[in-house]
Structures are given as C-alpha cells and as structure tokens.
A and B are shown apart, each in its own frame.
Chain A
Amino acid sequence: MQAQLRDPKTIMKLTRLGSFHQSKLSFLRSFLKEFKDWEYNRDLFDLDESGYGRAVYSFTKKNKTYSLVCFANKINDDERSDRVIATKWDAAFVLHDGIPSKKDIERLEQNVPRQEVGRLSYKELTLSRANKSVRVFNHVIESLSKGNQPDKEFLSKVGYLYRTTAVYGSGKFGLADRFRIKNREEICGPFRLEMMLVYLVRQFTFDQVNHIAKNKNPKKFVPLDKEISRNLGIGNSTGLGMAPFIVNHPTLLNNWILARENALKKVREIKIIKNEDFKLFVNCLKKSIKNVTSWNTESEFQKKKIKQLIIDLNKLLVFIKDFNFKTNYAFNILYLWAEENLDFECLEYVVSMMFEPYNFIIDPLIKQMSSDEEKFFNIPGERTVQDLRNILEEKYSDVLKIDFDKKESNENFWFISKNKEEPRLANRYDEQGSELEQPLAIARDIKKLYGRISNQKNSLKIGKFLIENNDLRHVVRRAFISEKFPYSEIQDNIIGSNLIPIDMLRLKLSFFGAIKFDPRSDKWLRICMFQGAPLPNELKNFNEHWVYN
C-alpha cells in the first residue's frame, strides 16, 4: 500500500499550519538526542549573593566545545519588558564557539548585555536575553530559602523561571555566518545552536535560584527538587519578528514540512504494527492529556481550540479502545478516521504522536531539514512563459482565486520598523508607510504575475520576459522554487483582513518544539520550551518520550 503525501494546498493553509504541534522532528528534541553523549560542565559560576554576575556552561566532545556565557544583571521592575524595544534584561547570554578566554569573557561582558547595540565576533554563534517571571522566581527563592519546595500547582501555571524575548543567530550583530559552521555534523539540523543556548539557559535559571536562596538563608535552604526542575522549561515571548522568516526561506520551510509529511506517509505505510509500538503510541497519547489540561491561556481563540482538542482526544480514546491495531496498515486506518472525525488541532496532534515509536523513520528525516538556499536562487532564464503559466496554475490555483480588487484582500502591509529593524504588520488604509512594503504579499504578486503573462507568447523565454517585468522578479523566482519544493509556499493571503499572524508563529514554534502556545493577542504569544526535558547531567540516559511524562 502506498499512502499519498498530503496535498500542499490543504496542508499549507494557515489554519492548518497554525494547528501544528511539536513532534520527534522538532529541533529541541533532535538537539537533545544529538548532544546526549557530549560532556556537560558548569565551568564558571561567579554570582554575588543576589544572583548577579557571570557563569559559563559547556558541552564538549573530543576537542570540540560550545560554551554558554551568561551575564545576570540587576534591573528595576519598571525596566523589565518582553517587547523587543526593551534595552535592559535580567540576563543576557551568548553561545561561544570553543572555550572562552578571560579576555573573551571581558569582551563579551561589554557587548552581550547590550544585545542589538553590542557587537559580537565570528567566535560567537547565538545571542539571547531573558527576563524573570518575577512572581515564580520570587516564590521559588522564598520557598527554597525557608526549606520548602515551591508550590507545584503554582509553578505549572507558568512553567518557567525565565522567558527569553529573542534568540539571534546566523550573522546577526557580528555573530558567525552560517557558512562558517554549516558543515559540522552535530549541527546539521536547523536552529540546533539556538536550541543549545536555550537549553543551557534553563540550567542557569535553576542554578541561579538555588544560589540566591542558599545565600538568603544558608541554614534552612534546600535545593530545588530535580523533579520540579525537570518540569520547568524556558518561556519565550514571540512577536511578529518571526513571521516573515517562513516566507523568506521557502526551501527551508519546504524541507521542514516535507519531513513531517514524509514521516506521516511512512508511518501510514507500515503494514504490521508491532504490539509495543502501538502500546507506546497509546501511552504517549494518554499521558499527553496532562499537557493539554495544564495548557493555560487567557486567549479566547486558543481556549476554543484547546476545548475542541480535549473533546476530540476523548473521541479518539473511545475509538482506540475497540480499535484492532493488528489489522494491516492500522495507522493508515487510524489516520483516515482522524481526518474524517477530528478538527485540525487534534488531527495534527495525533500525527505528531504517530511518530513516537519510529526512530528508524524519523532519524534520517531530521538530517534533511536544513537547506542550501543559495543553490535555488538563480532564475532559469531559458524556461518559457508556458512553463511559468503551468507552474502558477498547478501550484497556486487557490491563490489565483483570491480577489485582490477587494479592499479587505489588501488590508495589511508588512514593513521593517526603523526603530528596531524588525518586521511589523499594519493596516494599509489607516497607517502611513505602505509605500515601503516588504515583498511578502506573495499571493497578491503571484496573481499580478499571472495576469501579466496572460498576454505573452507561450514560447517567450523567461530571461526575455523579465526585461520588462523585473518588478515581479521576486515572485518569478519563487514560482520556479515552488516547482521543485511543493511545500515552500503558504497557500493563503498574508495581507488579507482575515490573517491571524500567530498561525505563522505557531507553525515555526511547533518545529522548534514549543508547547503550550499562549496567544496574548493575534500578533504575539508566549510559549514554553524544554518543559519536562531531562537535566544536562541526565542526558546520557534519558527517556526519548519525555514530552509526555
């Protein structure tokens, strides 16, 4: 039996992409797997009694070392902001390539806490900053210093001690360009160094609360329980800055989605499901319900989705009760049932869960999730208008149906803020600046291109067509990319009035491995990473299905 890859025109709709969940393919999970046999160390921990100072953590294997350098600073409560426009943070972090010298640390101390206005070198790989969740942080210190463990229920409502507000990499602010490191085997997966930074920051947050609480009351102090630590992750506040990334990197987006779609296809094609594999699937499913019921959000949009997810999960559990997994292609039958009976949120949840038993399917796919984007940059000038027309009609048929003469189809525009050099979204009819629109209105421009070629000769070469049509060059390039990469385009209008930008954020964050999406508006959300993950000194032997423990 051969299962078909799911149709990009269905999968690449934002309502579907905005229902994706973390899976075994997610970057934080594949990072842990890759680095499990690296040597973890805390090399420096020089904090004062209030927890301010510097620390260094590292992963080493043979003669290769990656070091997280941390700077914890005192800031006033009124200076603490999660917005990207903030200029001070409770802590700032950088991942250094190798073992930092004293001189390196001094240089970094002058620059890392300043973030965007500081300057890094090619010896640094990723940069970040984070703020405390003050109520949780204080509660934990208060409890530990009195000899008590913190209230688990209170902690579970937030899920972390710190949340990062940006993680930078790939050549930003002087950080190493990707070409310098892309051939290293251990970082072949996307965002692996960003994941390493966040993971080590998590450990720093535990060490910092223990240190402060101990100094506060050395006699009564107890260290934070390991089980409680494990159930804390790192929060992240994410705004629109992340959204254009998935439009600006079409081949990378394709490779992420294609890996997921291929994984699903291969699972559906398994003829005989082993008893232990099905048991593992059901076990993960049952345990995962805890993650759903402890998913807190004030967002009505997300609350509705979670409510439906719980209803659907119960429906699924009833179905599974009498399900005969010994039937040939049982996962395919289960998938088809889910497609018929469950909403997207639960359907994609189940898809992620189906990957759990199958390392032999997932591991090779992880290696295919990066992209050498430069290879596909050149436009094939020798192709014809007929070729282009065929591509547009085949790959963008839904997009071509959008009526851009309607005001609401053009309501928004994407721009780069002068203040922070970050992407933003605004209403074209209410705000100034739309003349400086970024080239992200792909659906509109594809439709324009389709109109433009309608009166051109089929045999006309693209190289000649472009002479008079370079204003649409950016979408001609994309069209030829989408010919080779079926999942490279979002099949929606991202300047329309019905756009929910957090769907774009959620897609990316699900591939990061984030859970507990908590939209704070339609334009930004909070999430949690590494909640439930093993601690660094437990990596050598950990349960791969930790997300569901």
Chain B
Amino acid sequence: MKTLSEIDTTSKRATRAAGFSWGIAEEVGKNMRLLELFGLSGIKNLNKYLKDYKQKQLEKITLIHEINESKKNPFCPIILGTNFIDQVNLMDKKRNIRIYNVAFPVLFLPFVSRASEVVGKRIFFKLDDKEFLFNLNQSIYSNYLKNEILENCESISIDFIENNNSFTEVEWKEIYKLSENTFVEENESLKIGAAGAGLTDND
C-alpha cells in the first residue's frame, strides 16, 4: 500500500511536471492525500487528468461568481479549486454557487473540503446527482462511493450551511434535563465545604 506521504510527494511532482506552478502542485499533493485518506479515488482521477489536460484545453476560471458557465470547454478542476479556496472568504455570503461543465470534478472535491474548514461552515455540495457534505475538513459524508474516473460533470451546486444546531431547543432541554441526573444536590454543609474557595467573595 502506498503511504500518504508518497501519494502527496508524487502527486505534487507529477502536477509540476505537467506544467503547473510549484505552489499549485503543493495544493494538489495535499489534496490527493486528503482524497485517498477519505477513500475517494484521487490518484486514479489525477493520473487521467494529467494525461488529458493539455489536449482538452480546459477553461481556466478566474473570479468565482454565483453562476459560472464555461464558454466552450469544461473548467479545469485544479484552477477552479485553487481559486475557490483562495476566494472562499470573499464569497461565503453568497448562499448558493453554481458551476456548469467541470472536467474531472473529483479533483475539485478536496479544495471544497478544505474551504469548509477555512470559512468554518459545513458545505453541501451536489455534483450532478451525487451528494457530498463537507464537515470542516474533518470528514466527507456522501452517497457516492464508486472508485471510478469521472471525466466530466454537467453541474455543481455549492451551499454554505450556516452554523445552526441540527436539533430543536426542546430536544436540547430534554436531553440536558436527563444529564442533570448525574449532579449531586448540595446541602448546606456541601455548599460551605465542597467548593474549596473562600467563604467571603468580597475580601
């Protein structure tokens, strides 16, 4: 089994060899480590992408808007991802971002996972019919488990999820009440002696 360190280093070098800058290659190295750690097919997709990308003349997105449509060729996932993570703090006020026609979209996923950590919000991500929930770069929850090469996708939808509880206040109160059953009711003697602090607060 290849180690994550080997995956990182080799992906970085391969990306540089394909013509990207060292700084972007570093991003890709970290991303491949992340994808493989989370059990997604990073190397498989990167390998095919690096073979194809010069012929495909992928479109390089610059500024990311709410709606992003490629003019002719699909968007390059590496340039899209790099700009997404660089600009995420400038765009998280936008509730929903849509990107149409992206090549090798699996390679975009780790950028979004890391962006979730950068903005401190979970991100709900839809890639055609595949759903992903990015949890602050701690885990990826998804209905997509195929180990395959995804050469293209028609549309990507990105929602930044506000930091709200997933439960109601009533549910919280109920569970809190139950937790109180681990506390000891203090009598006078316990109130005086058990805290360890001084008896006068204003001395």
Contacts and interface: CB of A to CB of B under 8 A. Distances in A.
Interface of A: 121-122, 170-172, 174-179, 374, 377-382, 416, 439, 461-464, 466-467, 470-477
B69 interface: no
B175 interface: no
A169 B13 CA distance: 20
Nearest to B30: A377
A171 B3 contact: yes
B21 A463 contact: no
A470 B82 contact: yes
Top 10 nearest A-B pairs by Cβ distance? A473-B23, A171-B5, A171-B3, A463-B86, A382-B89, A381-B86, A439-B22, A474-B23, A463-B87, A471-B21
Chain B facing A: main interface SS: helix
Contacts of B27: 473
A380 B24 CA distance: 15
Interface centre among B6, B62, B63 (most CB of A within 10 A): B6
B30 A381 contact: no
B90 A461 contact: yes
A470 B24 CA distance: 7
Contacts of A175: 3
B4 A171 contact: yes
Contact of A381 (B5, B23, B85): B85
Contact of A171 (B6, B83, B86, B114): B6
B21 A122 contact: no
A473 B22 contact: yes
B150 interface: no
Given A470-B82, A474-B26, A170 B5 contact: yes
Interface string B9-34: 00001000000011110110010000
Given A171-B5, A174-B2, A464-B63, 16 more contacts: A122-B1, A171-B3, A174-B1, A176-B3, A177-B3, A179-B4, A381-B86, A381-B87, A382-B89, A464-B86, A466-B83, A466-B86, A467-B83, A467-B86, A470-B24, A473-B26
A474 B170 CA distance: 50
A470 B2 CA distance: 29
Contact of B62 (A378, A439, A467): A467
Contacts of A172: 3, 5-6
A302 to B, nearest CB: 33
Contacts of A462: 86
Nearest to B12: A439
B114 A378 contact: yes
Contacts of A416: 13
28 contacts: A122-B3, A171-B4, A171-B6, A174-B3, A175-B3, A177-B5, A377-B30, A378-B85, A379-B86, A381-B85, A381-B89, A416-B13, A439-B22, A461-B87, A462-B86, A463-B89, A464-B63, A466-B82, A466-B86, A467-B62, A467-B83, A470-B21, A470-B23, A470-B82, A472-B21, A472-B23, A473-B23, A476-B23
Nearest to A439: B22
Contacts of B90: 381-382, 461, 463-464
Interface of B: 1-6, 13, 21-24, 26-27, 30, 62-63, 82-83, 85-90, 114, 117-118
Contacts of A467: 62-63, 83, 86
A461 B13 CA distance: 28
A192 B83 CA distance: 39
Contacts of A472: 21, 23
Nearest to B83: A467
A416 B14 CA distance: 13
Contacts of B89: 380-382, 463
B5 A464 contact: no
B22 A474 contact: yes
Nearest to B8: A171
Contacts of B114: 378
Contacts of B4: 171, 177, 179
Nearest to A440: B22
Interface centre among A176, A177, A381 (most CB of B within 10 A): A381
Given A381-B90, A382-B89, A474 B30 contact: no
A178 B63 CA distance: 37
A177 B7 CA distance: 11
Contacts of A378: 85, 114, 117-118
Contacts of B2: 174
Given A171-B4, A179-B4, A381 B88 contact: yes
A178 B8 CA distance: 13
A174 B3 CA distance: 6
A279 B21 CA distance: 56
Nearest to B5: A171
Contacts of A382: 89-90
A464 B87 contact: yes
A380 B90 CA distance: 11
A377 B33 CA distance: 13
A416 B17 CA distance: 12
